[in-house]
Structure 1
Amino acid sequence: MDMFLVKNQSIIKHFIKGVDKYDQTLKSLGTWWEKIALIGKINSFEVASTILEDMDNTLGQFQILQKRLIESLTNEHARKVIMQDLSRCQMAIDVLIRNLFERTADIGFLATDHNVVKFLKNSDKKEEDGVFLRQRFQAYVDIYSVYQDAFLITLDGEVVFQLSQPSRRGKVQDAFIQQAITYPDRYVEYFGQTSLMAGSLSNLLYANAVIDEGRVVGVIVLCFRFQNELEEITNHLLFEQEDNHFLLLNGAGDVLFAPQRYQQDFPMHLSISAVPKVVLFHHKDCVQVTTKGQPYQGYTGPENWHMGSLLVLENMDRGVSDTQDHQTLVADLAGLISADLFDIRRQSISINDDLELIVLNGIITAARKDAVEFVPVLEAIKKIGRDIDNVFANSIESLFSTIISGQLNAIALQANLAVDIMDRNLYERANDCRWWGLSTSLQTALSTPEIDKNRIRQTLEKIHSLYTVYHNLYVYDQNGRYLAFSDDTYQHQVGQTIEANSAGMGVFHSQDIYSYCVSPFMPFDCYGGAHTYIYNAAIRSPEKNNVVVGGIGIVFDSTVEFRAILNDILPRENGVVKAGTKALFTTDKGFVIASSSDDHAVGSVFFPEISLTELFQDGSTATAIRFDGNVYLIGAAMSNGYREYKRQDGYENTIIAWVLVPC
């Protein structure tokens, strides 16, 4: 970073309007000083030459300090802006990786679906078979709205099912389909053009072999809503009135995603660099940064994908604000600004004090030598010295205000990210329980005169092996009694009634096959006595959708998953989390759901004094507060849901994410 700033300082300074203005003002004052001093030299021969020399020396000191000031202002501002962009790139790629991790589990489970297996192995397919499968897959994409299409393909490449084009037939020869057949024990993740999808755009697809009694009978493929998801992720990271400038790159630097505002007119390739650099795009200088994602539960995402930012230098001065008075925070927040700037300010005051003494001495000397014509010169130079000192004070104060404003914006964004990841995670949980409730295997097992508990347990164990975010899965009958668990630890509870607050009995009161019920966040025996959420969905009769034959409860591993989210979103600089930084999830009443720090136990109360009006009206807020004897920058953001989750499905559960960074 330092080498980048040194190399590009003159270019960057030109685009940071505030800094450039201060530079020009100081240069103008210096020129005016020189002119006035020259007048003094010409008209005041009686005055000691040492006074004039002292003034020249003072101006020289100011000019040296001016160079330091402008360099420091430029570096400090640019560093903060670039670090914010790097941080947002990291957020974007990490959120994407978390999302795609869920897709790898989905394709693996769907490949084992009884109806998919039956359809592919059936050589005598009837029209009603296709109709049933379309209804089932439509339910799937309605629930998991991140998918845009689904396919079933035979071993010889024949497309026998496409959700969006039911009548489609014909062979395809895509290599990734053959790869799924060759390696049936793993999913295939493919990005690029494919004969499966019309058009020239690249698509992100997930494929998995479908196996029946140890034999591959075909391949299932899901097409992810790639462009739609990237737009949502990157738009969520923008500051107010900021254009989207984030790009997704592969390992070779080819641009895989560009926001819609580019309208096809975006760079096709960027060289990936571990350090920022200035590149020319559309005849404009831009700062490019790129970063690679962090693995999530061992999953690293598509090979070597990076998120990049292409920030036009004209926008480098974003966030400059003279409207907020942060002077009362200078002592508490001094750590946010470089020590060099404070040293410059001290030296500026010292130089100006020396100038005042020189002027005073000059006035005394002029009086002794009856050189009254020199006094106006001295007064004019003294005024210029004060003006220069004011520029130093105002520029540093303005930068301080800008940096604080930028830090507050960034920490509010970090809190927004935390609660967004939480909503995205729990969106998947709501989807999972509803889809598994539609499992033909579970529906059939619960609809027979003698309920097949062993079959239910095997199905739950298979699901649990693919979805590691759960502590436990269970199925219960029409009377709310446990039938089977995915975890043998709880098998002794089979036959007992589900826990009263698990929300499980709510599934028997809804006619909507897409509905789900969620417990309060509280301790449950089926989670070892710890706090969690349990998501529930109805299991219906395979013949009659209006008949509920039981329910499925999925016990989210909240202790592990929520803390992992909070640890992942903690603000970092150069990859390091500042000591004392912490993040929390609470209810809107301050009940702690999770914390990255052991200082705040689950179930305790955390609700520092912030602007509740701003939080509840705007959805997020940030400020500096004194808390537990320390001063923190604190950001808070309320949950806003994800896609239809918490937005259109009737579920309400307000969560606040908090991020605190010590100053």
Structure 2
Amino acid sequence: MPTRDSFPIEPFLPYMRDVAKCEQALHEVNLMWHMIESSARMNCPREAGTILPTMAATRARFRQLEEELVINLAREKLRNAHAALATTAGYIIEIVVRNLFERTADVGFLATDRELCLFVAGITSDTDAVRRRLCAYRDKYTVYDEIILLDTSGRVLVQLDPQSALDSSRDALIARTLVCDTYVETFRASDLCPDKRNALIYSRRLCHPDTGAVIGVLCLSFAFEEEMGRIFSTHGDPGDRSNMLLLDGDNRVIASADTYWMPLGTLVPVNASDVPGLMMFGGREYLVCTISSQGYQGYPGPAGWQGQVMIPVDIAFGGKQATLLDQLAPALANGVLSHAHAFCPPLFGIMRAADSASETIRRVVWNGQVMTTGQDAGLGRLKTILEQISETGARSNALFAESIRDLFDTVLASGLRDTEFVTHLLVDLLDRNLYERANDCRWWALTPELRRLLAVTQRSAGDIDNMTRILATINGLYSVYTCLFVYDRNGMIIASTGEGIGTTIDAVSLGQVTALRTGQDYYVSPFEPSTLYGDMPTYVYHAAIRHPDRDTEVIGGIGIVFDAGPEFSAMLCGGLGGKTETQADTRAFFVDRRGVIIASTDPSRPVGGTLDVDSSFLAPGSGCSTSRIVTHDGSYALVGCTASHGYREFKVSDAYSGDASADVIAVVIAAVGPVAQGSVGNTEPVARFTSVPGMLDGLEFATFYLDNALLAIPAEHVREALPAAGVSPMSIGAGAGCLGILPVVGSQPGMSDDFVWVFDLGAFLSGKPTVQDSRSQIIVVRLGQRSIGLLVTQLHGVGRFDPAQLVATPMGGQATGNGMLVRQVIQAEEDNLLIQVVDLAYLFGVLMAPANAAPELPDNVYALQPAGYSSTGGNAQKAGSH
């Protein structure tokens, strides 16, 4: 069975036009390599004999890289397209489940409302008063479009919707609810809501307030279609290229963002696996992703419900191409790219292989140029071949660089999209959650018993106990609160489910509550430490309690202490939920406009601290999002943020709206890796020089880099360059900068393959070891009968210079110091370039000194020998020993 890392991509390639274009361009370059190789074999087989095997191997390696690059480009595009669908599908079902969890609590609490129970029991008979009470409830919990009270026989006692007057109901949910001691969740057609195709109803039985006998049923009809419309409009595809669906357990559409495209009741194919695949629907192939809920606080959601997103495959990959890297500073782009091994392992492997192939080409050309030194007449055709190799290599490099850039753009754009989308979900979850808190405090402030007991001038202990019992019952149903408390007109707390009885609320809160004009108004304290929450920061929601006979008279208030710590943490962790899986270190935060942390998943940045981010991340408009790649805490990071935008009337049209201090911003920071020093990958040398035209008797030098310095060695003393990876460390090595030995093919005419000692040239120049990477090379140089290998950072080129261009260094006449390693510099033509010339005689002399003398070499080694050694044939022997 395919996995998310091994799924076939062939069926998707015809729909990826940019990948096909890349594949065609790479194929054309591959043909050019074939032509160059054939031309070399025909025109200069002897001269090109030493480079033809390397050319063939390089061509084969490029061909393999071409296939790997195309496959990974396609796979990454497919993976990211599928991940985007999965993210959206997951949000659909999770938002629905979290919303409906609140409904299960609502129906449970309202079913215990004494006023409603008295009326259904026949103890009271004021239908209009009960209807007004239900209206007051719906005005606060605006997610309900109908509330109905029925007796045990299904007769309708009171309903809110005047447009669908019902006498009775024969719905089976009534009988089921009467025998159930918890809520009943029903989604289907019902005579309780005759105008709906499917009604989502939460019902609970009502009991006699004195005897406990079952007396009727309470039904809350959730505004399902309206709510799904909000979800689709908030999280939908702005380009209308995909469709968002909510499915039932039979895989039928129960909500659709576009009912003309996929109507309600339609049976659709589902893909609940984490593996992208093509599925046929309506004669068209689609990418499909289906997600089921993991549940929320023990509530699983309606049985079988699933979120799904579908997009036609023929348009799934045709969106605007990513240009993210082009928008970054080069240093930032290269730095992020340096962590491709963690961010996108396939990309890193291709980068390394492409760098290696590029350096092979550079080495082939460099060695060929060295080979033709002083032999222009006889090796002219080889020089032409070398020029073709160099040009084609440059084109190959450019194509691979562009393709790798496209792949990395795809990966980064996907990461930024996920990061930003997670923040959008987080503020949505937060606004929806706090909307419920604003509703709760206002509704509980209308509790008749609390109003009556608070209006009593001389309250007994029994009165206080009754108030505490009511608060405890509520708190038991709503676990998101650590404490509910009631206070009088002076702010004195007289009943509480926690601490604080006998204390007084702060003057600011008391003043705000006593000034509330209607039952629709409420007050939220700033997010700050509260003694009612263990001196930790939280929100406390307040509503005024009014005199039972005079609604204009405020006689106290109710406060509900939100359990901010675990609730906000659950939102952040639930919102992350693996959505930013390409980053190993991802942190999420809720902050205010000042950057003060309200909630955090980062232990090093606790609540109350300040999140150090760019001010632009703290300034998005309401509901607006942004994301960028930045450096943060010494790391490259993907940062996304979204400002809260409210939900329904909450923070939109109520008294809480327009209060900038109440704005909350979700921030997600996904670290990519530590800030890198220097560039990454195979970069072309910045230094340029031009050989003197027409000069046949000039001086030829082979040039190379040590870090950023350009150096030269007379080309006549250079044998060849070899990969640094071939050096074998030797435990018997001696002297500073001695790295080991390296095999060399045909080091002398008539001799077998031998070895040379390798030294770190950078260590002699600067005293610091040379950092090795894919560009590092070993230049094998000889002086007389002796050869050594020199580690260099990167090869550059071979050029011919006028002797007048050589200038002695200021220290060139002195005979001491490491500065003698460079006695002359070449004044090149462009950019006042100075190329340092290595004095091989001095270098060999230093390496032959007793302090740096290499030990006796094993058989078949031809190399620089310290004083007292000689070499015969391919065997190094100590002088005088036989």
Q: TM-score, normalised by structure 1?
A: 0.89
Structure 1 contact 235–244 (Cα < 8 Å) conserved: no
Separation (CA, whole Å) in 2 of partners of 1:564 and 1:418: 10
Tell me the SS of whatever aligns to 1:195: coil
Tell me the SS of whatever aligns to 1:288: strand
Structure 2 contact 279–287 (Cα < 8 Å) conserved: yes
How many residue pairs get aligned? The number is: 653
**2:468 is the counterpart of 1:457:** yes
Aligned to 2:398: 390
Tell me the SS of whatever aligns to 2:9: helix
Structure 1 contact 44–373 (Cα < 8 Å) conserved: yes
Separation (CA, whole Å) in 1 of partners of 2:124 and 2:619: 63
Tell me how far 1:587 sits from its aligned partner: 1.6
Separation (CA, whole Å) in 1 of partners of 2:280 and 2:474: 50
Aligned to 1:93: 93
* Distance change >3 Å, CA 410–CA 238, structure 1 → 2: farther
- For 1:149, which of 139, 146, 149 is the aligned residue? 146
Tell me the SS of whatever aligns to 1:287: strand
**2:554 is the counterpart of 1:548:** yes
Aligned to 1:193: 189
* Distance change >3 Å, CA 124–CA 345, structure 1 → 2: closer
Instruction: Please give the per-residue CA displacement for 1:330-360, whole angstroms capped at 9, x wherever unaligned.
Output: 3554356423322323323333444456567
Higher helix share: 1
Separation (CA, whole Å) in 2 of partners of 1:532 and 1:431: 17
Aligned to 2:514: 508
Instruction: Please give the per-residue CA displacement for 1:492-515, whole angstroms capped at 9, x wherever unaligned.
Output: x24x432335x2432221322200
Separation (CA, whole Å) in 2 of partners of 1:527 and 1:337: 41
Structure 1 contact 37–381 (Cα < 8 Å) conserved: no
- Listed as ranges, the matches of 1:515-530 within 5 Å are 515-530=521-536
* Distance change >3 Å, CA 262–CA 6, structure 1 → 2: farther
Q: TM-score, normalised by structure 2?
A: 0.68
Instruction: Please give the per-residue CA displacement for 1:528-582, whole angstroms capped at 9, x wherever unaligned.
Output: 22221111111223333222232111111112211221222225169x7965432
What is the percentage of aligned positions where both structures have the same residue?
32
Q: Which runs of 5+ in 2 are unaligned?
A: 673-882
**2:644 is the counterpart of 1:639:** yes
Separation (CA, whole Å) in 2 of partners of 1:312 and 1:426: 37
Q: Which runs of 5+ in 1 are unaligned?
A: none
Range moving further from structure 2, 210-219 or 440-449: 440-449
Instruction: Please give the per-residue CA displacement for 1:456-488, whole angstroms capped at 9, x wherever unaligned.
Output: 22221111111110011111222222221133x
- For 1:204, which of 200, 214, 231 is the aligned residue? 200
Separation (CA, whole Å) in 2 of partners of 1:137 and 1:360: 88
Residue type of the alignment partner of 2:545: I
Structure 1 contact 336–403 (Cα < 8 Å) conserved: no
Tell me the SS of whatever aligns to 1:209: strand
Tell me how far 1:420 sits from its aligned partner: 2.0
Tell me how far 1:167 sits from its aligned partner: 6.8
Aligned to 1:467: 478
Range moving further from structure 2, 519-528 or 371-380: 371-380
Instruction: Please give the per-residue CA displacement for 1:245-277, whole angstroms capped at 9, x wherever unaligned.
Output: 322223332332221364554752334533333
Tell me how far 1:110 sits from its aligned partner: 0.8
Structure 2 contact 285–312 (Cα < 8 Å) conserved: yes
**2:22 is the counterpart of 1:22:** yes
Tell me how far 1:186 sits from its aligned partner: 0.2
Aligned to 1:535: 541
- For 1:498, which of 505, 511, 516 is the aligned residue? 505
* Distance change >3 Å, CA 287–CA 304, structure 1 → 2: same
Separation (CA, whole Å) in 2 of partners of 1:516 and 1:145: 16
Instruction: Please give the per-residue CA displacement for 1:417-466, whole angstroms capped at 9, x wherever unaligned.
Output: 22221111111110111111122222233334555333322221111111
* Distance change >3 Å, CA 61–CA 643, structure 1 → 2: same
Tell me the SS of whatever aligns to 2:152: coil
- Listed as ranges, the matches of 1:413-452 within 5 Å are 413-448=421-456, 450-451=458-459, 452=463
Structure 1 contact 319–402 (Cα < 8 Å) conserved: no
Separation (CA, whole Å) in 2 of partners of 1:87 and 1:278: 18
**2:213 is the counterpart of 1:215:** yes
Range moving further from structure 2, 599-608 or 79-88: 79-88
* Distance change >3 Å, CA 271–CA 621, structure 1 → 2: closer
* Distance change >3 Å, CA 242–CA 633, structure 1 → 2: farther
Residue type of the alignment partner of 1:472: C
Aligned to 2:312: 312
Range moving further from structure 2, 298-307 or 446-455: 446-455
Separation (CA, whole Å) in 2 of partners of 1:14 and 1:546: 71
Instruction: Please give the per-residue CA displacement for 1:153-210, whole angstroms capped at 9, x wherever unaligned.
Output: 2211122222113772333222222111011x20011112212112462221100001
Tell me how far 1:626 sits from its aligned partner: 3.3
* Distance change >3 Å, CA 342–CA 445, structure 1 → 2: same
Tell me the SS of whatever aligns to 1:152: strand
**2:356 is the counterpart of 1:350:** yes
Structure 1 contact 610–623 (Cα < 8 Å) conserved: no
Computing the radius of gyration from Cα coordinates, the structure with the larger value is 2
Aligned to 2:781: none
Structure 2 contact 244–257 (Cα < 8 Å) conserved: yes
Tell me how far 1:648 sits from its aligned partner: 0.7
Aligned to 2:759: none
Aligned to 1:624: 629
**2:321 is the counterpart of 1:324:** no
* Distance change >3 Å, CA 335–CA 232, structure 1 → 2: farther
Tell me how far 1:46 sits from its aligned partner: 8.8
Relative contact order, higher structure (CA 8 A, sep 6+): 1
Residue type of the alignment partner of 2:273: A
Tell me how far 1:61 sits from its aligned partner: 2.7
Structure 2 contact 623–644 (Cα < 8 Å) conserved: no
Separation (CA, whole Å) in 1 of partners of 2:241 and 2:367: 57
Aligned to 1:587: 592
Separation (CA, whole Å) in 2 of partners of 1:600 and 1:345: 36
Tell me the SS of whatever aligns to 2:353: helix
Aligned to 1:231: 229
Aligned to 1:273: 272
Residue type of the alignment partner of 2:537: H
* Distance change >3 Å, CA 424–CA 243, structure 1 → 2: farther
Separation (CA, whole Å) in 1 of partners of 2:347 and 2:589: 34
Structure 2 contact 166–192 (Cα < 8 Å) conserved: no
**2:132 is the counterpart of 1:135:** yes
Separation (CA, whole Å) in 2 of partners of 1:244 and 1:641: 26
